[in-house]
Amino acid sequence: MSKVWNLETPISEEQIRELKLGDTVYISGKLWGIRDRNLGREIDDGVALPEGVDYEGYPVLHEASGYKQEGGEWFFTSGMGTTTSTRMERWMPILIERHRCRAVIGKGGLLEGTTEACKKYGCVYLSVVGGAAAYYDARAKIINVFWPDLDSQAILECEIKDYGPMFVGIDAHGNNHYLNLRKKAIDKRQKIYEMLQIKELPWAPQWVERPREKNY
């Protein structure tokens, strides 16, 4: 039976290890908004995080929001939204190891490397509904912006209240709901082909194998 958790930040490793796949989570407290270019600047380019940024014990969210400053205060202009996590898989194990953030929040799921890091260092992946910025907007407030030169790719410090519902997609014990689901889906691929009477035919001859995304 899945549980509903209401957590306050900072979150302890013990607490995180209690969460199970499919549990519902709401978090209140502090959250960090991260994404491609600020991850790249820190991890690929080796630039130290700005002073005041510390992910240890806090959730980080793959965010994708517009913001503005008015009268010294920051505001989201189009809600607090999440972007696709899968795209950032290569950075996440390093981030979890280096900073010991306790939850990664996003959409689309993460893969084997992150699952391993979550198990080793005590972290979970929480899935939110992408595209529902207008819904989450009422639950998040932006406090500060770091590396503002990155514009919508800056690091955001946010205050959240009952942010959720989020669902545990990767727990801290090596279980990944997305990978389980993917395996189930692949297992029935032949059945899906049969529904459409698809036959295996020899692939059309090629001069040289066509370029594929994964090769780059």
Partner 1 sequence: MTFPYETFQKIMGDLYFRNVTVFPPDLKDALKNAFDRETNEIAKEKLSVMLEAIKMGEGNGIPVCQDMGMQTYFVHIGTKMQVDGYKIKEAVIEGVRDCSNGRKWRKTLSNPITRLKDGEQISATHPHIYWDWIKDQDYMDVMCISKGSGSENQSFHAMLVPAQGMNGVKKFIIDSAYAAGGQPCTPSVTTIGIGGTFDQNAKLTKIAMLRPIGKPNPDPQIAALERELYEAINAINIGPMGFGGDTTTLAVHVETADVHETQNPVSVSFQCWAARRSGMRIFQDGKFEYIWEFGGEGYE
Q: Which residues bind partner 1 (CB under 8 A)?
A: 22, 24, 64-68, 76-81, 83-84, 86-87, 107-109, 127, 129-138, 151-152, 165, 167, 169, 177-178, 181-182, 184-186, 188-189, 191-193, 195-199, 201, 204
**CB-nearer residue toward partner 1: 26 or 98:** 26
Q: Is the peptide bond before 202 cis (omega within 30 degrees of 0)?
A: no
Nearer to partner 1, 94 or 150 (CB): 150
User: For residues 57 and 83, which CB has a smaller minimum distance to partner 1 in the complex?
Assistant: 83
Query: Least distance from C-beta 188 to partner 1, angstroms?
Result: 7
Helices (DSSP H) in 100-209: which residue ranges? Answer: 112-121, 133-136, 177-187, 189-195
**Which residue is it, tokens 């969210």?**
61
Residue 215 beta carbon to partner 1: minimum distance, rounded to whole angstroms = 15
- For the chain, the residue count is 216
CA-CA distance, 78 to 93, in Å (whole number)? 29
Q: Measured from the CB atom, is 47 or 192 closer to partner 1?
A: 192
Which segments of the chain does DSSP mark as H helices, in order?
13-17, 36-39, 92-99, 112-121, 133-136, 177-187, 189-195
Our CB check for partner 1 shows the closer of 46 and 77 to be: 77
C-alpha torsion angle, residues 29, 54, 155, 64 (rounded to 10): -50
Nearest CA-CA partner of 133 in 65, 31, 33, 36: 65
Least gap, CB of 56 to partner 1 (angstroms): 27
Query: At residue 57, what is the residue type?
Result: G
Nearer to partner 1, 57 or 128 (CB): 128
Minimal distance, residue 98 CB to partner 1, in Å: 25
Smallest distance from partner 1 to CB 88, Å: 12
User: Looking at the DSSP assignment, which residues form a beta bridge with residue 152?
Assistant: none
CB of 202 to partner 1, least distance (A): 9
Q: Beta strand 24-34 with 59-62: parallel, antiparallel or unpaired?
A: parallel
